[in-house]
Amino acid sequence: MESLGAFVARRKGDWEKLQQLLAQQRSGALELGQLKLLDSLYRRATGDLAYAQSFFPGTDAHRFLNQLCGSAYGSIYQPPRQHWTAVRQFHENGFPGVFRAEKLVNMGKHDYRLEPNVSFSPDEKWVVFRSNMLGQTYAFAVEVEKK
C-alpha cells in the first residue's frame, strides 16, 4: 500500500483538472472532448474516493475527494434548468387555459352560518348546493357549461 503523500501526489493533477472542468461546465462552456474528459476524471475520482475511504479515512484527502465527487455528481447529473421565461409564459398563457373562473350564482345574500356543501353531479354537468340566500334553506342545481 502506498503512503497518503504518494497517493495524493500521484492523483492530484487529475483532481485539479476535474475542478477546472467543473468550473467551466457550470458556465456552460465545455466542448464534446472536454465532456468526455470530465466523465473520465469523475469516474477516476470516485475510484480514488473509494480507495481513500478504505485506506485513509478521516484525512484531508478523504474529505476533499468526498466534496469533489459530490460537487461533480451534482454538476453532471443535475436536471435541466428551468428558465424563468418558460415559467412566466406558462403562467400567462397556459395556466389561464386550464382554469377559468365563472360566476354561476350570486351568493351575496347567503348567510354563511349555513355551509353550502357544494358538489358536482355524477355527470359533472350540474353544481348542486344548499343556500339560504332566499331566506329559507333550499337545494339548488346550477348547470355548468362545458367547452
Q: What are the domain boundaries of the chain? A: 4-76, 84-143
Q: pTM of the prediction? A: 0.55
Which residues neighbour 46 within 8 Å (Cβ) at sequence distance 6 or greater? 69
Per-residue pLDDT tens listing for the chain (147 residues): 899 999 999 999 999 999 999 998 887 778 889 989 999 999 999 999 999 999 999 999 999 999 999 999 988 887 666 666 777 777 677 766 666 667 777 888 888 888 778 888 888 888 888 888 888 999 988 888 765
Cα–Cα distance for residue pair 31/41, rounded to 1 Å: 15
Cα–Cα distance for residue pair 52/58, rounded to 1 Å: 9
Residue 11 CB: number of other CB atoms within 10 A? 18
